[in-house]
Amino acid sequence: MYAIVDIAGQQFKVEKDQQIFVHRLASEEGAKVDFDQVLLIDNNGKVQVGTPTVSGASVSAKVLSHLKGDKVIVFKKKRRKGYQKSNGHRQQFTKIQIESIKG
């Protein structure tokens, strides 16, 4: 059984006991979170497609940790103009574990 769910503006294909990294959620570590933006549920070949979401369906997850991703370097240059600019950042992520899919 799997579901396609919209979490923080991104769509993820999730299964029970799967661990995924999503954009930073405003929840404490160890807290339970529910996502009701379920777009599709596949229950052993029986597919429910939402218009745009499946009514009554939800995915519950547990927040495992908050962490930062790898450093991304942004380098801008214009040739023959003497312009160079370097910038970088580390994206904030939340690691969650899918507890159950209800549909």
pTM above 0.75, yes or no: yes
pLDDT for 103 equals: 78
Instruction: Give 10-residue mean pLDDT values along the chain (103 residues).
Output: 94 96 95 95 92 93 97 98 98 96 88
Q: Where are the domains of the chain?
A: 2-102
The β-bridge relationship of strands 32-35 and 19-23 is unpaired
Among residues 52, 50, 56, 51, the alpha carbon closest in space to that of 36 is found at 56
What number of other Cβ atoms are within 10 A of residue 86's Cβ?
9
